[in-house]
Amino acid sequence: MSKIGIVFGAKSFEHEISIVSGIALKKVLDDELIYIFVDKNREFFLIPTNKINSKLFSSGEYKKFDKLHINNGGFYKTALFGDKKIDVDFILNVTHGGDGEDGVLASLFEFFGIPFIGPRVEACVVSCNKNFTKNYALSCGVKTLPSSHFTKNDKVKIEGFPCIIKPVRLGSSIGVSIVKSQEELSYALDVAFEFDNEIIVEPFINNVKEYNLAGAKANGEFIFSIVEEPKKEEFLDFDKKYLDFTRTERVNEAILTDELVLKLRENFSKIYNHTFDGSLIRCDFFVIDGEVYLNEINPIPGSMGNYLFDDFKGTIKALSKSLPKKQVINITYDYVNKIQAAKGK
């Protein structure tokens, strides 16, 4: 049995979603879970697993528990005779949105040499920015829908309606709107720019086939989830998607041809590449006239996408034993010593 540090919360528009995701993992992992909460001030707290509930955070009661700090090799709490390290085998990064998916925490974990499951810094860069995601996908040979990119100071010109407007850096459908006419555009832009200073505009295709596929790579081999066809609505807004983060029961598998499943897996593998080594990710795809298009990459999916796997526990265990290792760099100061020696002659 592993000791898994669940890091969740953080300074993000998706802070509350992260709390729900973290708590949901209690139902699907039978390892020893050590909960490490990051509050809005980016302070770390050790939350007893038997005490954790959502009200603990909304009420501020979490502050009565041990405060932690991060240092070489892990998290520590201040004890009577010096710092005491929190004993975990690895960290599972369950922070959605800012801090978690944009690379802030990943850079901390990497800097302090803490083993963790989650996207590394480069993976965060290409997945948290929808504009970068499209360019990355195209470079991997994966198709995406055409889009236009605008900043807050640009004059937004729409080529046709209906279209969908998305803040560049947010997930969970926050700030996203379907715009069906010019009259609806101004309000949708105000909503999107409230959350980000950049947006992308894509054509909205009604009744498009959408499929979700999650997976990870362990020992050089891919572990794929089932393919899910999300419940069809014109648009899954924040409130509807929020329910996904509480899911712990396996969903029904989409009824697809072997050929289409293979296509989805091939496109997933191209996206995962080596960029997402050490991560469990979910890719959301569109299928139009038999062609696969990437919609978005979820580098830290809600509840870690546990409901898509036949053996979620086994996937996490295999992934934890296949985390990427940093290159060892020996600092010898040979160059500096040669300079000093030359000056002494």
For 43-59, the pLDDT digits (tens) are: 999 999 999 999 999 99
pLDDT at 241: 47
Map out the domains of the chain with their CATH numbers: 3-117 (3.40.50.20), 125-143+206-320 (3.30.470.20), 146-203 (3.30.1490.20)
Residue 195 pLDDT > 90, yes or no? no
Q: Is 182 helix (H, G, I), strand (E, B) or coil?
A: helix
pLDDT at 247: 64
Share of the chain above pLDDT 90, in %: 80
pLDDT at 238: 46
Cβ contacts of residue 258 below 8 Å, gap of 6+? none
pLDDT at 248: 65
pLDDT at 40: 95
Residue 249 pLDDT > 80, yes or no? no
pTM for this model (two decimals): 0.90
Residue 5 pLDDT > 80, yes or no? yes
Residue 109 pLDDT > 70, yes or no? yes
Please check whether residue 178 is in contact with residue 164, taking contact to mean a CB–CB distance below 8 angstroms.
yes
* pLDDT-based confidence at residue 328 (cuts at 50, 70, 90): confident
Residue 301 or 237, more confident? 301
Please check whether residue 167 is in contact with residue 198, taking contact to mean a CB–CB distance below 8 angstroms.
yes
Residue 289 pLDDT > 60, yes or no? yes
Across the chain, what does the average pLDDT equal?
Answer: 92
Residue 247 or 144, more confident? 144
Sheet containing 281-288: order of strands: 143-144, 291-298, 281-288, 209-218, 221-228
Of 134, 206, 213, 127, the closest CA to residue 170 belongs to 127
CA 331 – CA 328 distance, rounded (Å): 10
148-183 pLDDT per residue, tens = 999 998 999 888 899 999 998 876 677 899 999 999
